[in-house]
Amino acid sequence: MPTFKKIATILNPPAPHMVGDGFRVHNFFPSGYKIKMDPFYLLDYNAKIEFSPTNKLRGVGVHPHRGFETVTIAYQGAVAHHDSAGNSGVIYSGDVQWMTAASGILHKEYHEEEYSKKGGPFQMVQLWVNLPAKDKMTTPKYQALANKDIAKFNLPEGNGVIEVIAGEYNGVRGSASTFTPIEMYNLRLNTGAKIIISSPAHYNTALIVVEGSIKVNGTAQATTNQLVHFEHEGLEIKIEAEKNSIVLFLSGEPINEPIAQYGPFLMNKPEELQQAIEDYNTGKFGYLEE
Ligand code: MN
């Protein structure tokens, strides 16, 4: 009989900080907590907050990235995005944007105009997903996953739905293509729903309760804004929804390569960071209007 994946710890969100003037994020890692989540390098969690109506667009201005991917998951509110490769779009509630910065991109992220004018609840996750050394300098690309296009597994008896962003759940293949094996699901569970998720023992695994309250492996309770981190022991996770809940599940095979990070650059060696800074300063990341 498969064994439950052992819970390492249940974490409250660390103190928040502002990213630009549009994102109030709790950095669960790498700053907030030193938990091993390779290939996930960073997790900024914008817990639900209310923004007042405004005509000024809040957000983050033009900045570069190299060596990894940013994944933005919108739960409430809407974010408009532009990058130096000419891509743009709006990430609405339920959508996911998977941006492969790889060899280098400039982008900016602002609250969408209509949302800004109305104001209201705002809740987002941004992840940095590392790339293996061999893929760090590949061509940037962009996967805009509207909610309607994200693969779904419908739970029996109207118990909810599992949105398979990446990986595979019960034969449903995820919508995003990834460079290394990653499982990323949004679990939208109705009260009383019970599910089992299987993931290899050597993957780094965590979940965040975005909304609601769940029981994990029959014993531990996790509620809104808490992160549950698992050990490399056991294969299955049992989740029971104590109320209507939304849970982000993350699991990935570790890349296990050296890391050199400086600001928005995530490479393997210090000299590659130097190169990134030089390339950025000499316009090699392209151009994007503020
Ligand atoms: Mn960015």
Could you check whether the bond before residue 30 is cis, i.e. omega within 30 degrees of 0?
yes
Interval between CA 76 and ligand 1 midpoint (Å): 19
Share of the chain above pLDDT 90, in %: 98
Judging by DSSP bridges, how do beta strands 213-216 and 220-223 pair with one another?
antiparallel
Q: Could you give the CA distance from residue 134 to residue 102 in angstroms, rounded to a whole number?
A: 10
Residue 242 C-alpha to ligand 1 middle, in angstroms? 35
Ligand 1 centroid to 65 CA: how many Å?
Answer: 7
CA of 250 to the centre of ligand 1 (A): 20
C-alpha 64 – ligand 1 centre gap (Å): 7
**Exposure string (b/e) for 242-270, b if CB count within 10 Å is 16 or more?**
beebbbbbbbbbbbeeeebbeebbbbbee
Task: List Cα–Cα distances, 231 to 4, 150, 200, 237, in angstroms.
Answer: 10, 29, 11, 11
Cα 169 to averaged position of ligand 1 atoms, centre (Å):
29
Q: What confidence score (pLDDT) does residue 86 get?
A: 87
**Structure token digits, residue 25:** 């994020």
CA of 156 to the centre of ligand 1 (A): 38
* 185 touches 197 (CB < 8 A): yes
CA of 202 to the centre of ligand 1 (A): 29
Helices (H) and strands (E) in the chain, counts: 2, 26
Q: What pTM did the predictor assign? A: 0.97
| Interval between CA 59 and ligand 1 midpoint (Å) | 10
Q: How far, in Å, from the CA of 185 to the mean position of ligand 1?
A: 22
Cα of 107 to ligand 1 centre, how many Å?
6
Nearest to 98 by CA among 124, 72, 68, 74: 72
The secondary structure of 111-141 as a DSSP string is E-HHHHHH-EEEEEEEEEEE--GGGTTSPPE
pLDDT in tens, 188-205: 999 999 999 999 999 999
Between the CA of 154 and the centroid of ligand 1 the distance, in Å, is 33
60 Cα–ligand 1 center, Å = 8
State whether the Cα torsion 88-92-95-96 is positive or negative: positive
Work out the average pLDDT over 152-162: 97
What pLDDT, in 10s, does the model give residues 212-255?
999 999 999 999 999 999 999 999 999 999 999 999 999 999 99
Q: Is pLDDT of 1 > 70?
A: no
pLDDT surpassing 80 at residue 2? no
Report how far ligand 1's centroid is from the alpha carbon of 19 (Å).
10
Which tokens belong to 34?
């030193």
Instruction: Calculate how far, in angstroms, residue 213's C-alpha sits from the geometric centre of ligand 1.
Output: 30
pLDDT at 128 over 80: yes
Q: What distances in angstroms separate CA 13 from CA 21, 46, 62, one per listed residue?
A: 20, 10, 27
d(Cα 85, Cα 239) in Å, to the nearest integer? 41
Does residue 260 carry a pLDDT above 70? yes
Q: How far is CA 221 from CA 7, 198, 212, 215, in A?
A: 11, 19, 11, 5
For residue 182, pLDDT beyond 80: yes
